[in-house]
Amino acid sequence: MLTTGESVVDVPSAGAPRLELYIQNRHPEASGGSRVLRTLDLVDLSVFGRTRKTQLGDLSVGVTAPLDLSAEEVGSLVRRALIGMAEDFGFTAADSAQI
């Protein structure tokens, strides 16, 4: 059984990850370098609200989907994955984001 409660034989085949998004800051606040940058000064994530964290590390999300999804279904899956990423990193309005 999978965590979804489905039998393995009932789960449609999926391909390799089709989308991987990484937001990485090579000069974060804690780096002590001469070019210190805040991640939120580089990337506008305001659609997800404010974060409860004082510093953001590397943000990432990957999406693996069944091969037979329509473009609309893929878009919906990607939006849900981005919202999940934002929730994981403590953004206060991630669940109501309009992306």
Mark 13-33 as b/e (b = at least 16 C-beta within 10 Å).
Answer: eeeeeeeeeebebeebeeeee
Judge whether residue 6 has pLDDT over 70. no
Average pLDDT over every residue of 54-60: 81
Please state the domain count of the chain: 1
pLDDT higher than threshold 60 for residue 79: yes
Q: Would you place residue 31 in the very low, low, confident or very high pLDDT band (cuts 50, 70, 90)?
A: low
What local confidence, expressed as pLDDT, does residue 1 receive? 40
Asked if residue 88 belongs to a domain, the reply is yes
- pLDDT for residue 46 is more than 80: yes
The stretch 38-46 carries a mean pLDDT of 85
Report yes or no on 68 lying in a domain.
yes
Containing domain of residue 37, as a range? 15-94
3 pLDDT more than 70: no
Residue 99: pLDDT band with limits 50, 70, 90? confident
Cβ contacts of residue 94 below 8 Å, gap of 6+?
48, 49, 83, 84, 86, 87
Q: What is the pLDDT of residue 68?
A: 79
Dihedral of CA atoms 66, 72, 77, 78 in degrees, nearest 10, equals: 110
Is residue 48 domain-resident? Answer: yes
* Gap between the Cα atoms of 76 and 99, Å rounded: 10
